Amino acid sequence: MKIIVLVILLCALPFNGILIKVTSAINSNTSWIIEQSSGLHVFNAASYPNGPIILRLMRIGANNCYEPYLHLRLIYPNILVINISTNNPNITTIPTFNFCPISTNPPRDLIRMFPLSYNHTMIAFLRNNTGNSPETHEEVGMFIDWNGNVIE
């Protein structure tokens, strides 16, 4: 029998941690309820083999897009939650059009997250080379470690 756990995430201000409270088992679907004054919600998640889950959190921004910032968290099997600092200038230069929804069911944008080896994640997005036609966009990626450092 599959069991799900309803998880309530509470973020302590200012982004220095999330308290996770495990509540009751319900059925075979996973439910995440985010209750925090910061307005962040779980956008997507990926897991590392025998390791933590990486979450990408988001909040609604301007012009029906999401806030152009990567809010990443690691959740370890012992429920420890760590913020991955993404203040690195190389990470904050992701073009803002990548943060606009391309689908609403399920919600998706142009940013993809791939857990790699332990301590590394690849973030893929589109870069506009010249002009605004689709032919001028190329998919690029950056490798980051769990400290928010871009691996060159």
Domain range holding 142?
5-151
Which of 120, 131, 86, 126 is closest to 102 using CA atoms? 126
Domain count within the chain:
1
Distance from C-alpha of 46 to C-alpha of 55, rounded to nearest angstrom: 7
Q: What is the pLDDT averaged over residues 46-50?
A: 88
Q: What is the pLDDT averaged over residues 13-23?
A: 36
Average pLDDT value over all residues in the chain:
74
Q: In the structure, what pLDDT confidence band is assigned to residue 20 with cuts at 50, 70 and 90? A: very low
Other CB atoms within 10 Å distance of the CB of residue 103: 8
Specify whether the CB–CB gap between 137 and 126 falls below 8 A: yes
Give residue 50's pLDDT. 80
Phi, psi angles (nearest 5°) of residue 16: -100, 10
Q: In the structure, what pLDDT confidence band is assigned to residue 134 with cuts at 50, 70 and 90? A: low
